[in-house]
Amino acid sequence: MIFFTDECFMYKANRLVEAFDRENEVRALLDHFPAGTPDTVWIPAIAQWEPKPVVVCGDGRILKNKVERQVLKEAGLTFVLLASGWTNLNWPTFAWKIIKAWPAIVDNASRTLRPTVFEVSPQTLKVERTSYLS
């Protein structure tokens, strides 16, 4: 499986997760697009990849913005939102929490049969399905 992380996911955490998870691929937005690329540009672009990646994102505005949510829905991608609070964590705390939560993120994403939105709490590290995008 391919996981694609946006700019709100700590860039150095990509390498940490790759070292931890040797079965899946983790690709960072900054390795494929310039910084600041609009969500309405990179979402449809990565939706063309085979296999389609699972987006792991710290930007919940994508789900609140009508245009961006529609682009995500049309792209047919599963979306894992790192809920409010993740982006405020210092590096050591972010690092251990993302590694602790990662197996559940992979498990939930691998079991979904249609585009789904999951949310991961920085407090409990639980991965919860919030909606379907289809």
Domain that holds residue 100: 2-132
Question: Angle between the 11-20 and 91-111 helix axes, to the nearest 10 degrees?
Answer: 60
Q: For residue 39, which amino acid is it? A: D
pLDDT digits (tens, 9 = 90+) for 51-106: 999 999 999 999 999 999 999 999 999 999 999 999 999 999 999 999 999 999 99
Query: Taking all residues of the chain, what is their mean pLDDT, rounded to a whole number?
Result: 95
pTM greater than 0.85: yes
pLDDT at 133 (0 to 100): 75
**51: domain CATH number?**
3.40.50
Question: Angle between the 66-75 and 39-46 helix axes, to the nearest 10 degrees?
Answer: 10
Give ∠ CA 43-47-52 in degrees, rounded to 5: 130
pLDDT at 21 (0 to 100): 97
Q: Are 101 and 82 in contact (CB under 8 A)?
A: no
Whether residue 92 is preceded by a cis peptide bond, meaning omega within 30 degrees of 0, is no
Please state the domain count of the chain.
Answer: 1
Is residue 134 scored above 80 in pLDDT?
no
